[in-house]
Amino acid sequence: ARARARAPSRIILVFLRDKMLMGEEEGARVMVGEVFVAVSQDDASAMVAAQTAELTAQQKDMQGQLEKMEAELQDLKAQLYAKFGKSINLESE
């Protein structure tokens, strides 16, 4: 769920980067905490690139955690089926 929640943030950052590359903005306002600060386009581009890289790294980390949990779940299911056989149903409907 968290990985999915971060996807819109990444989409917004890509949109802002593309908008800046097209030259539609001479400067930019960046939200720092609860206020907007005027920065140059170069600084804004650097900030967008850094945030995009950070979100990408977080997404990869979360994906790795998810895969690890899914593998552990499959292992636990196999153990339970080995112990209880067909008398249990662990599959989601």
pLDDT at 61: 95
pLDDT band per the 50, 70, 90 thresholds, residue 40: confident
The 10s digit of each residue's pLDDT in 72-87 is 999 999 999 999 988 8
3-state secondary structure the chain: CHHHHHHHHHHHHHHHHHHHHCCCCCEEEEEECCEEEEEEHHHHHHHHHHHHHHHHHHHHHHHHHHHHHHHHHHHHHHHHHHHHHHHCCCCCC
pTM (2 decimals)? Answer: 0.58
pLDDT at 11: 66
